[in-house]
């Protein structure tokens, strides 16, 4: 229902892709099987290989990439530039490992400018004051806006009244 064009794929290509998805370790009884199939059918082999090359260039092993794809087939949807920029930020600026990124995959594909960087400015202050542990960072980046404000900004407003202003400035609200 989400992607009826999948049904228009030539039978041999469809069968070949189903076999690839099974070889990748997808459970044929799970909904992720359908998502994985849909994503793999919708991407040209050259584009798939180019995106794999980007992950590998950041030190990801094929098993790590495959595991990520099984968890979140959308990891191959963003452009090569978006993947590269996000990996650069998370791995080189935040020092996240592939294992940590895989744990918080959603963060990898959120807007760096509109969500990740503004939240990181708050997190940076909380980390420097010892009010947050680095291992909590992934969750802080993916929670809903209301929960982020409640748990990471308002919660510390008495001790750090500047947090809201820092966050709003980075969001471009002020």
pLDDT of residue 147: 96
The pTM is what? 0.86
For the chain, the distance separating the N- and C-terminal CA atoms, rounded to the nearest angstrom, is 43
pLDDT of residue 2: 63
pLDDT of residue 6: 65
What parts of the chain have a pLDDT lower than 50?
none
Give me the long-range contacts of 117-123 (CB less than 8 A, separation at least 24): 117/170, 118/167, 118/170, 118/171, 119/148, 119/152, 119/167, 120/94, 121/166, 121/167, 121/170, 122/152, 122/153, 122/163, 122/166, 122/167, 123/152
């Amino acid at each position: 229902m989400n992607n009826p064009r999948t049904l228009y794929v030539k039978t041999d290509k469809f069968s070949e892709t189903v076999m690839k998805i099974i070889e990748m370790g997808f459970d044929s009884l799970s909904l992720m099987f359908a998502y994985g199939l849909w994503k793999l059918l919708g991407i040209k082999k050259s584009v798939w290989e180019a995106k794999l090359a980007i992950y590998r260039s950041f030190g990801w092993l094929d098993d790590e990439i495959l595991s990520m794809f099984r968890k979140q087939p959308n990891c191959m949807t963003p452009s090569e530039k978006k993947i590269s920029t996000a990996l650069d930020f998370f791995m080189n600026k935040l020092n996240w490992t592939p294992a940590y990124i895989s744990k918080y995959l959603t963060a990898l594909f959120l807007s760096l400018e509109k969500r990740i960087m503004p939240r990181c400015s708050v997190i940076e202050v909380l980390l420097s004051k010892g009010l947050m542990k680095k291992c909590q960072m992934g969750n802080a980046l993916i929670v809903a806006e209301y929960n982020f404000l409640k748990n990471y900004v308002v919660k510390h407003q008495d001790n750090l009244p500047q947090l809201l202003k820092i966050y709003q400035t980075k969001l471009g609200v002020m």
